[in-house]
Chain A
Amino acid sequence: MPTEPTSAADDKIRCDACPVMCYIKPGAAGACDRYANHDGCLVRVDPHIVLERTVSHGGRLVPFQAGGDWDGKLVHEPDVFVTAIGAGTTYPDYKPAPFIVSSEVDGVDMVTVVTEGIFSYCGVKVKIDTDRYLGPETATVRAQGEAIGHVTTSEYGSQMLSLGGVHHLTGGSKKEGRVTCDALMDLSNCKPVELTIDGGATVVVQAGYPPIVNGVPEERMRVGCGSATIGMFAKQWHGKVDEVVVVDDHITGVLSEHQAGKVLDIPDSGIKMKGRRSTPGRYFQVAEPGTGWGGTMISDPLSVLGPFDARKARPGLTMLMVSTTGEHAAYYELDAALQPVERPMPVDLRLSVERIQENCEPALCTVLFMAGAGGSLRAGVTDNPVRLTRSVKDALTRVTSGGAPVYVWPGGGITFMVDVTMLPAGAFGYVPTPALVAPIEFTLKLSDYAALGGHMDHVRPLASLKDSTETRSMPSPQSNGEPRS
């Protein structure tokens, strides 16, 4: 037998937890996957959760079954809700949905029709809180080299991606469909996915976490555009500096020219901006978009300035240049030749930059899953599918996804959106077609259910689920905004 690599020879340890007596290398686990070598120490790998410690650390507990043993009564707690996760679905869909459950709520017999929908018409809308340039509008977004969606219109302080949809799932190559399906499922299950944008950036997106743009985690959303920032902070700068430029890919603001500066009688500084003037003190397109200052490509802010006007400028004039998030900032004084020279920033200006940072909210990625419940899925709920649609539109039927509230898009069909962080972990699955499997529940009054042609003979009381499924309390929706670690 060949000899082992020399360096490792002495690092391995021998586990004595069982008679297999594995030799375990540093960083590796034994045959059981339960014991490992961590820096020369034998450690047990599987988690050992101590309830008291979780409580004392402020961890969140999910009650195993709120009321102790099942007492045979119908459930009264409003937070016990049967979700469709894992319910499975049926083929063909005219068969009743897997679980049609009734429970008594406020004296009204409620019906929850629980099914897992198979959605080939589905996708995710991703909002990425950053001013950094991710790529041109309509540019293709790729995962593992495959086209899975595109860049759509920017929103305030955020870049938007539209991913998935039937075109990428089933309209392209087999691989494109599979990669799209995997990316949608991972994004929907709150896992990180690396996306590359044609002619733009590489961004790691994970619902509820800051985006990572070209390897750099984004920290903050901008407080406003450059012009808005001038408006917000003009008074705080007044008397402390002669000129302020807030560099922004969208609208760069200039204090002395801006209406906010005029109101404060701030004199002309002789500054000359590049870019296209929109209204006084507001400039479009001072630089190409990029991942530098304020979502532009620049690393030297002076590159957005032309020469100062000698008739208005004077040596010693002071100027603050800052980005919309306060992430970049520099302080200058004009020399005898009216050239800006960088100087250490005075403390009160430093504080104003920190104030900008403080007012920027944490940058996050948010993922909305969007899908349409087709006619055949609806047929699993009622023998007259269109009546279910009407019932949803009339707000008689409440639609949820994994117990999470959804927004139902107005118009035809039942096209809904849901914030994926509101669903329990691992709620989304897939079938190899490829298409996503997502939970969907329709809740309505039992009498309304009968009226719209529901499968009344398949309704069963909630208590009957006891034997075949595990029940657990859903996390309350308001607790879902917290970041998960």
Chain B
Amino acid sequence: MTRLPQIRLLADGKRLHLQDGPIDLIVEAVGSEADRRAAYDAAVQRFNGLLDELCSELPLLRRAADPDRCPLQGAVARRMHTAVAPFAAAHFITPMAAVAGSVAEEILGAMTGAARLDRAYVNNGGDIALHLADGERFSVGLMDRPDASGTMRTIVIDVDDPSRGIATSGRHGRSFSLGIADAVTVLAATASQADAAATIIANAVDLPGHPAIMRCPAQDLQPDSDLGARLVTRGVGELSEAEIAAALEAGAASARRLLAMGLIDNAILRLHGESLVVAPKATEPTALQAPAAASAMERLMHA
């Protein structure tokens, strides 16, 4: 195979872009020049061959995860399994549900193992692994219409927050969703955990049997989809405000269970322009700037 991963610095000279097959990473490390270089070298080294490693176990990765036993060999594959295992008893879930976050985490781990960094992130198509040294923080903007400028909310994660992973799942992304959420963004301890949990919560945002929701067997769209004949969401028509609230509440119930189990730190659910935030009460004001910012916006509107 004459395939070569794409490896380059972006135009700003600061961020690294790594792409191979379906893996597309934006990486940034902040530290001394020597550390940054060492981190990027380590990222590139780990990235080479990573897709082949995953694909060598692809049939197993596409099979429903066993909650108690991991048959996988590779480090990334095993991390994928670990991330989905807590859900495997109650849900159909394959390790593929955590592939993006697990890859991001692996590359971040390679960088932080090779260099002392103040901050670093690996963004794998919206599933993000973070590193923060003391005194550092990240601002993460959430957009609900990527075709428009402006962020809907801003989340600030500082070193005292437990979250080092952010993932978003929903029906608009590259992978299919069994639910109708436009987006479910989850903060969790690791990117792989966030990725798996976002999938589960987004699947739960649903109105089973609703006539305005168009669904289609996953394999009719992608013959080798790990979801097989399961119905994935293709379109969502008009919903009443009560229906939107009911669907969001179904997802929020799932999110609250995961929160209680310690699997996630926060979740933001979005459907048809409505949002719902699930967060532990004590941390909400600091970890999530959104509600405060939104009300500030309300006051500012009559400029």
Binding site for B on A (CB under 8 A): 1-2, 4-5, 8, 12, 16-25, 28, 30-34, 85-86, 88, 91-93, 116-121, 144-145, 170, 174-175, 178, 185, 189, 373-377, 426-433, 435, 437, 470
Contact = CB atoms under 8 A, between A and B. Distances in A.
Contacts of B294: 432
Nearest to B125: A33
Interface residues of B, number: 39
B241 A175 contact: yes
B224 A22 contact: yes
B147 interface: yes
Chain A to chain B: the 5 pairs with minimum beta-carbon distance, closest first: A18-B21, A429-B150, A374-B303, A19-B55, A32-B22
Contact of A33 (B152, B174, B229, B241): B174
A28 B1 contact: no
A32 B21 contact: yes
B220 to A, nearest CB: 6
Interface of B: 1, 3, 11, 20-22, 24, 51-52, 55-56, 58, 145, 147-150, 152, 174, 217, 219-224, 228-229, 238, 241, 273, 294, 296-298, 300-303
The interface centre, meaning the residue of B148, B222, B298 with most chain A CB atoms within 10 A of its CB, is B148
Contact of B220 (A5, A33, A185, A377): A5
B148 A429 contact: yes
Q: Of residues A4, A144, A432, which shows the largest number of chain B Cβ atoms within 10 Å of its Cβ?
A: A432
Contacts of B298: 433
A91 B3 contact: no
Contact of B55 (A21, A85, A92): A21
Contacts of A431: 150, 297, 301
B303 A23 contact: no
A251 to B, nearest CB: 43
20 contacts: A1-B219, A1-B228, A4-B220, A18-B22, A19-B56, A21-B55, A22-B222, A23-B223, A24-B222, A31-B22, A34-B22, A118-B297, A118-B301, A118-B303, A120-B301, A426-B148, A428-B149, A430-B145, A431-B297, A432-B273
A20 B223 contact: no
A170 B21 contact: no
Given A18-B22, A430-B148, A375 B301 contact: no
Contacts of A31: 21-22, 174, 222
Nearest to B148: A429
Contacts of B219: 1, 4
Nearest to A8: B220
A204 to B, nearest CB: 18
Given A20-B55, A30-B22, A91 B297 contact: yes
Given A1-B229, A92-B300, A433-B298, A18 B20 contact: yes
Q: Which residue, of B55, B150, B303, has the highest number of chain A Cβ atoms within 10 A?
A: B303
B22 A435 contact: no
Contacts of A427: 149
Contact of B149 (A32, A117, A437): A437
Contact of A117 (B222, B229, B302, B303): B303
A384 B222 CA distance: 61
A25 B301 contact: no
Contacts of A174: 241
Contact of A23 (B3, B56, B222, B238): B222
A137 to B, nearest CB: 29
B149 A426 contact: yes
A19 to B, nearest CB: 4
Nearest to A28: B221
A406 B150 CA distance: 22
A18 to B, nearest CB: 3
Contacts of A432: 152, 273, 294, 297
A189 B298 CA distance: 24
Given A376-B303, A430-B148, A91 B220 contact: no
A170 B229 CA distance: 44
Nearest to B244: A175
Contacts of B58: 20
A91 B296 contact: yes
B256 to A, nearest CB: 24
Contacts of B229: 1-2
B277 to A, nearest CB: 13
Given A4-B223, A30-B22, A178-B273, A118 B149 contact: no
Contact of A120 (B1, B147, B217, B303): B303
A23 B301 contact: no
Contacts of B147: 189, 426
B301 A433 contact: yes
Nearest to B146: A426
Contacts of B152: 432
Given A18-B21, A433-B298, 20 more contacts: A4-B220, A18-B20, A18-B51, A19-B51, A23-B222, A25-B221, A32-B174, A91-B296, A93-B300, A93-B303, A118-B301, A120-B301, A178-B273, A375-B303, A426-B148, A432-B152, A432-B273, A432-B294, A432-B297, A433-B301
A388 to B, nearest CB: 13
A429 B149 contact: yes
B1 A19 contact: yes
Contacts of A23: 222-224
Nearest to A90: B300
Nearest to B175: A31
Nearest to A427: B149
Contact of A20 (B21, B150, B217): B21
A5 B216 CA distance: 12
B148 A374 contact: no
Contacts of B228: 1
Contacts of B220: 4-5, 8, 25
